[in-house]
Amino acid sequence: MTKSNRRNPNNAPGLLKDRTGIPGFDEITGGGLPAGRPTLVCGSAGAGKTLFAMEFLVRGATLFNEPGVFISFEETDEELATNVSSLGFNIKQLIADKKLLLDYVFIERSEIEETGDYDLEGLFLRLEHAINFIGAKRIVLDTLEALFSGLPNEAILRAELRRLFRWLKEKDVTAVITCERGEGTLTRYGLEEYVADCVILLDNRVENQISTRRMRIIKYRGTAHGTNEYPFFIDENGFSVLPITSIGLDHKASTERISTGNSQLDTMLGGKGFYRGSSVLVSGTAGTGKSTIAAHFLDAACRRGEKALFLAFEESQQQIIRNMRSIGIDLEPYVKQGLLSFKNARPSTFGLEVHLALIHKAISDHKPQVVVVDPITNFLAIGDARQTKQMLTRLIDFLKNEQITTIFTSLTSSDNTIEDSEVGVSSLMDVWLLVKTVESNGERNRGLYILKARGIAHSNQLREFRLTEKGIELVNAYVGSEGVLMGSARATQFAREAALAAEREDTRKRRERELQRKHEIYEAQLLALKNHYESEREAMVRELQEPEVGAANQRVDMAPLRPADVDPRMDENGARKARKGNVR
C-alpha cells in the first residue's frame, strides 16, 4: 500500500519511511520511521516512551491525515487523554473525528494459564477491529512487558514476539512498540531488539544533580541513520529532538558587513564592522564592559529592523534593561515591538545538552538575525572544560549554518593568560575583541583591542574604552614615554603638552616681535646708509666737476692776454664764428 506521507530520500530504491512530525527526529533518521514495519522504543521509567509514541500518532493524524490506534496495557483511555493534554493535544476531539482510537487492554497475570496452546489470537482480533474501524495507518502498543507479563517461558515468549511483529508487518501498519529497559540489556527480555526493524533508545541520566534526556538510534535496517546521542526535551509543545551533533563545516560565508553599534569600533574593523553570520568573542575580566558591547550590537541590529535574541545566564531581563539605560541604550521598546527577545536562566537549571536544545528551540521560534550569549563561561558550572567546549562547538556550528551573527561574552580570571579563553573556543571565533583593565597612577582604566578578525583589515592599536551617558567611547591611542597612557595619566600628559605648546607659542611670538624690531632697525639703518651714500655721491660728483669748469674759465680769462692764441674762427667769447652763406 502506498501512502502520500511515505517517501524515499533522494527517490532512490529502498526502504520507504513515514514521517513522524516530531521536530528534529525525521532529520536524524533520514525521513522518519520504517513504513509498514515495527519500531521498538525502549528506555527506563520516565524516559518519555509513551509521550513519543502518542505524539507519533497525534502528528500523523493532524499533519499527514493518517489515523492511528493506541493500545495501552497500563493506562486507561481517560488517564492517557489527561496525561497528554498538558502538551496541547486535544485527544478527545481526535477520537470524535475518528482520527485516533484509544483502547485499554487489562491483563491480569494471575488469570493467565500458561499452556502450550497459549497465543495472541484475541489481541490480534482486537487490533484488526480497531485498525479497520478508523482505517488506521499507525499503531502503538504500550508496553510489551505488561502484555507478556504472564509468560515466564522464554521459548513461548520468543515465538509470540516473532508472531506479533510478523502480524504487524502483514497489516502494513507503521507500528511503535514501547518496552522497559533491562539490567544490562536494551529490553527486559533481551529479545525484542532482534526482531524489530528499528530500535530507539531513550535515556534520562543525571550527572552532577542535573537531568539530561538523550536519544540514540541503535538499529535501523535498510537505511543509513544518525548514530550519535541526540539531546531531546519535552515541553508544552511536545517532544523535540535536536539533530545538532550532525552539523558539518559546510555553512555559507557571507560578504555582507554589519555595524557593531559603535562607529569608532567599526573604524577599527576596516570601517564596516563584522561579516554577517560570523561568531564574535568578547572576553575580559569582570566589569570591563563586555555586556555593554553586546548591548550596542543588539541596539544597532534592532535599529535596522532585524530580530535579536539575548541569552543571559547572569542577569534578569529587567536588570539588563535598567543597566543599559545608564549608558543611553533603551532596549525595552524593542522588546515591545517584538524585535528583541530575552531568554534568562541560571546554568544550573538544566544540563548542557538541554541548554543547547532550548537555545535551538528559542532560535527556531524567534528567528533572529543576531544573537548574544552572555556569558559562555557560566556553563563551566555544569560541565567540565571538554564538555562545555563540545557543546559550544555544536552551538557555533548551528548558528553559522543559520547565518546568525553572534556575540559570545567570556569572563576571564585576573590570573589567566589574557590571550586565552576560559572554555577554549577562541580558535572557532571569527573575531576576538579583548577588553581589559589597565592600572596606573592609582586608578583602573579600560582598554580594548582586536586580537583577531578573519578576513578583515583591522587596527592593532590599544584604545581606551570609556562608558559614558551616550554609550561607549573609544579614545584614540596615545603613546607616551612609558607606553599607552589612559585616564588621569592621559589628562596630565595632555595638560603638560598644552602648557608646553603655550610656552612654545609665547616663545614664537616673542621671537617674532624681536625679529620685527630688528627688521625695523635694519630698515632704518639701511635708509641712513642710503642717505649718507647719496650725500657723499653728490659731493664727489661736485668735486669731480669743479676742476673742469675752473680750467675752462681760466682759459677764457687768459685768452685776451694772449692774442696770438686767438683763433680767427672764434669770437671774443671763444665760440666758433659762422661761415658766410650758412644760415643756422
Q: Annotated active-site positions, please?
A: 74, 314
Three state DSSP letters for 134-188: HCCCEEEEECHHHHCCCCCCHHHHHHHHHHHHHHHHHCCCEEEEEEECCCCCCCC
Contacts of residue 287, Cβ cutoff 8 Å, sequence gap at least 6? 437
SS3 284: strand
- How many Å apart are CA 450 and CA 444, to the nearest integer? 20
Nearest to 313 by CA among 361, 365, 348, 353: 348
- The residue behind cell 603638552 is 497
Per the structure block, which three cell numbers stand in for 225? 541513520
- Based on its alpha-carbon atoms, the radius of gyration of the chain, rounded to whole angstroms, reads 49
Give me the residue label for grid cell 677764457: 556
Distance between CA 156 and CA 153 in Å, rounded? 6
CB proximity list for 323: less than 8 A, separation 6 or greater? 291, 315
- Cα dist from 351 to 81, 87, 192, 265, whole Å: 30, 22, 31, 36
Do 146 and 73 meet the contact criterion of CB atoms below 8 Å apart?
yes
List of residues 6+ apart from 295 with CB closer than 8 A: 261, 320, 324, 327, 329, 331, 372
Q: Are 366 and 402 in contact (CB under 8 A)?
A: no
Q: CA 561, 563, 568 angle in degrees (round to 5)? A: 140
Alpha-carbon torsion angle 4, 10, 14, 18, nearest 10:
-40
